Amino acid sequence: MPPTPALPEITAYRSVPDFACGRIKDIRIRWALDEIGRAYRTRLIGGIFEDKAPAYLADQPFGQVPVYKEDDLILFESGSILIHIGEGDARLLPRDTAARGRAISWTIAALNSVEPMIQTLVVLTVKGQGTDWMAGAIDAAKPFAEQRLARLSEALGQRDWLEADFSIGDIVMIDVLRNASPALLAPHANLTAYVARGTARPAFQSAMAAHLADCAVGEALPA
């Protein structure tokens, strides 16, 4: 009998500010593992804004979650972890070279060509509340997000997933889109349906439940 594979470990926050609960990137990893029925352990670390121990920063230079450990492999960044998990299971990343390349391209596109433009609007909205600069800055930044979503909507068309088969690219893209403001998605019925289709998957549901069970709300925002 082959040895039992080690249970992978992921880190998650013990406590986060209310708005962040349900929006942390360990969800992506839990979702991928739940899709393939792979059990994992969770190691809870402090809050988002707590100083991280030097040992943690050695694994995750930016002090974020998740870190993923499996035997002597230590990964950081959700995209890197998803590529690794996908390499081990064709249900998340096709074996065929061309299809695999396309799925990894979508994974990176979600992280570098879509999420940043949405995240900029979140930052300007949160930091700009009650200021006289918020409206101008958001007006300037919003067209970048709108353009990317319009292209994405066109590329998705009437398919269920970004390519023929569900992949890690869909996991990241759906997680990115569900954190966009509803007004940004509203012009694109197919993107709204895509998010609903993805978050209705049993593996997303179980991943979110496990995330919420671990993450106590209530961390204070830094002064």
Smallest distance, a second copy to C-beta of residue 192, A: 18
Distance of CA 183 to the CA centre of its chain: 20
Place of tokens 């979600």: 110
Peptide bond connecting 94 to the previous residue in cis, omega within 30 degrees of 0: no
Pick between residue 142 and residue 206 the one whose CB is nearest to a second copy.
Answer: 142
Q: Which of 172, 11, 195 is closest to 83 using CA atoms?
A: 172
Element at 95 (helix H, strand E): none
Pick between residue 210 and residue 219 the one whose CB is nearest to a second copy.
Answer: 219
Pick between residue 184 and residue 210 the one whose CB is nearest to a second copy.
Answer: 184
Pick between residue 93 and residue 210 the one whose CB is nearest to a second copy.
Answer: 93
Secondary structure in 3-state letters for 28-62: HHHHHHHHCCCCCEEEEECCCCCCCCHHHHHHCCC
Smallest distance, a second copy to C-beta of residue 35, A: 20
d(CA 183, CA 201): 24
Smallest distance, a second copy to C-beta of residue 211, A: 19
User: Is the CB of residue 81 less than 8 Å from the CB of residue 64?
Assistant: no
Smallest distance, a second copy to C-beta of residue 204, A: 21
* C-alpha distances in Å from residue 136, one per residue of 7, 127, 132: 49, 13, 8
Pick between residue 41 and residue 127 the one whose CB is nearest to a second copy.
Answer: 127
Place of tokens 């974020």: 64
Pick between residue 120 and residue 192 the one whose CB is nearest to a second copy.
Answer: 120
Which chain residues interact with a second copy by CB under 8 A? 57, 61-64, 72-80, 83-84, 97-98, 101-102, 104-105, 107-109, 111-113, 115-116, 119-120, 123-124, 127-128, 131-137, 140-141, 144, 148, 151-152, 154-155
Smallest distance, a second copy to C-beta of residue 209, A: 26
Smallest distance, a second copy to C-beta of residue 152, A: 7
d(CA 19, CA 63): 19
